[in-house]
Amino acid sequence: MDRFRPSVTVAAVIARAGRYLLVEEETPEGLMLNNPAGHLEQGESPVEAVVREALEETARHFVPEAFLGVYLARFLRPARSEDVTYVRLAFSGSVGEAIAGRALDQGIQRTLWMSEAELAACTDRHRSPLVLQCVRDHAAGRRLPLDAVNAHPSLHQPSVKQA
């Protein structure tokens, strides 16, 4: 029997003047909206990962200020026989202006600022149902301390390769 292996991702929820920073990205399902987000990589903490992903996808430095929570969603893509459960660690924080000349990550078409209402009006374009849920939780005032996510120093040790 195969062991259940969810895919761990991080997401940045960034608000400014009542609007949220989103990315528009190419996916197998077409052009979709998402929070700046991506996969946790081996050897990095969730906070390091969300800072990296936000920079790659928005060309802006992200400063995490709070932990929003842990979110789970299942994604079924019959055309590719994919059945993936995502575990999303969401963080809220702030960004500066876009870094001039810095390219967006592959597949990211643009960044845009949308209100919660604008985002709720186009759920068919969301990469995941977690996009709106994270924004709604942020808008409702959910904030947990960053140290609610503990990353043990062993994460930064070199990996051991077996012969």
* pTM exceeds 0.85, yes or no: yes
Domain region containing 18: 7-144
> Could you give the number of structural domains in the chain?
1
Asked if the model's pLDDT at residue 163 lies above 60, the reply is no
- Which token pair is 89? 């660690």
105 part of a folded domain: yes
75-87 mean pLDDT: 83
57 part of a folded domain: yes
- Whole-number percent of the chain with pLDDT over 70: 96
What whole-number distance in Å separates Cα of residue 82 and Cα of residue 62?
31
The overall average pLDDT reported for the chain is: 94
160 part of a folded domain: no
Q: What is the pLDDT of residue 146?
A: 96
Strand extents, DSSP E, 78-160: 82-95, 108-114
121 part of a folded domain: yes
149 part of a folded domain: no
Q: What is the pLDDT of residue 108?
A: 98
CATH label of the domain that carries residue 15: 3.90.79.10
130 part of a folded domain: yes
114 part of a folded domain: yes
Q: 41 φ, ψ to 5°?
A: -105, 155
140-151 tens-digit pLDDT: 999 999 999 999
Q: What is the pLDDT of residue 157?
A: 84
DSSP three-state, residue 62: strand
Taking CA atoms, 158 is separated from 9, 40, 50, 102, 161, in Å, by 22, 16, 21, 30, 9
121-146 mean pLDDT: 97
6-30 tens-digit pLDDT: 999 999 999 999 999 999 999 988 9
154 part of a folded domain: no
